[in-house]
Structure 1
C-alpha cells in the first residue's frame, strides 16, 4: 500500500513509500508478538515443583520439535505437539460438550509441564481435542497419524469418525487417517483410560497413591504426536518374532495379560533398537 501524492518531489515520494512499507512490517511484527503473548498466557507450568533448566525453556508453540523416530526418519512430517483442549470426565460418559481448559501435549495430565497437574484415576477418562491442517502438497499421499506413546487405553476419532483403538502405555502406534479426512481444518479427538495399579498393564512404579519409592501416575499422551505422508507402498518398520516366554513357567497369567506384556516388551525393544546409544 503506497500513498500517491501529486506534485510532490520524487525523493519525498520515495521516502513516503519507505515509511508505509516499514509501517506494515511493524504491524506484522506486533501482531505476531501479541499472538505469542496470548499463547503463553494460556499455559504455564502447574504447581510449585522444582524445574530443570530444560523445563524453563519449554516453548508451547514449539514443543519437542525434533523428529521423534530417528530409526526411520522421513523428510516430510508435521508435529502436532502443543496446546490442546482437555477434559476429565467419569468413565463411560459420552463426548464432553465443554472442555476444562488447555493441556500442553505431550506431557501427562499429572505432570507440571502439562499445565494441568490433576489426577485422573481409574474411574475417569481423559479427553483431548485439537485441530490441524494437512499440507496441500500431501494430496496424493496416505496420511499417517502417529502417537509416540499414550498411557494406557486410547480411542481416536477424526472428524467425529472413530479411527481405532490402542492398548499399551509404552508402545508407539499409528493409523492411516486418509479415508477420514475432509476439506480444510481437521478435528482430532483422543480419549484415554489409565487404571494404573488397578489394571493388568505394565506400569513400573506408578500407583494412584504415590509415596516412598512409588511414582505419580502418567496418564494420557506423553510422547510426540505427528503426521506423516507416505506412498501406497512403504516400509512399515521391523517385524519382531515373539516367543512364548511364559509357557511352562511358574507364573500364572491370563491370555490377555500375557498378550499385553508381550506387546509392551516389543515396544521397549523397538525403542532401544532406535536409540543405540542407550545400550552401547
Structure 2
C-alpha cells in the first residue's frame, strides 16, 4: 500500500492517477474525501495532520511507502512520519525543492521550510528519496485571472529564465521511486527540471498559442508588483521571491535529464503543459 499526502494538489493528483493506472494499491489522504473527486480505485481518506497520534496511526496501517508533501502536513511532519513508521512504512518519497543546493541562500524562508522538511525525514530513520524540482510549470496559473480578463498580462522580469517542469513529470519520477520499491532510489536525491529554458515573456506567448490568442506581456518594475500578481506566494515572502527572480534574469537555468533517465520518457515541454491546461485559463461561467 502506498499512502499519498497532498492527493488533491497538482503533483499529488497526478501521482494518484498514475499509481492507480498501474493498479498499485493507493490510500489518498485529503482533508475532504467527498469533494476530492479522485479515481474510484484510490482509497480517499480524511486527513488532519494536526490530529492526535492515535488518530493518525490507522491511516498508515498496512502501508509500506509514503509520498510526503510539505504543504499537506504543515508543521506536523514529525508526527506524521512517526505514525507512518508505526504503520509499517519503510520508504518515503519527499517532494522537496530545487532551492536546496550547494551555495543556496540559507536565509531564504523557502529554503528553510524545505531544509527542515528534509531534516525531519532524516531524523525519522526511514529510507528516503528526495525530489528537488526547480520551477513548476503550474506556477504560470498565477496569470490565469489576467488572461481570463484580457490579452495583456502585467508582471515583473520578462527576461527571467527557468526550465519549468510539468507536474505530471514530477509525479512520474515519484511513481517510479515508489513502484520500484526504492531500488536505485533509496537515498537518492533527484533534481528535476523541464527540458528547456523559457523566459517569463515566452511562457505568456506559449499559453496564448495554446489558447489561440495573441497574449502580450507588459513588464512592470518590481516596486510596482502587487500581491495579486503572485497569488501562490505568501505575502511575507514576496520581497524575497522577487529578489530571487531578479537574479535569474538572463541567466541560463539548471537543466537536468533526470525525468528521462528515471522514467524512460523525455520531460514534457512547457508547450505540452500549456496545452494540457487550456481549460484552466478559459473564462469562467
TM-score (norm 1): 0.25
- Structure with greater helix percent: 2
TM-score (norm 2): 0.25
- Structure with greater strand percent: 1
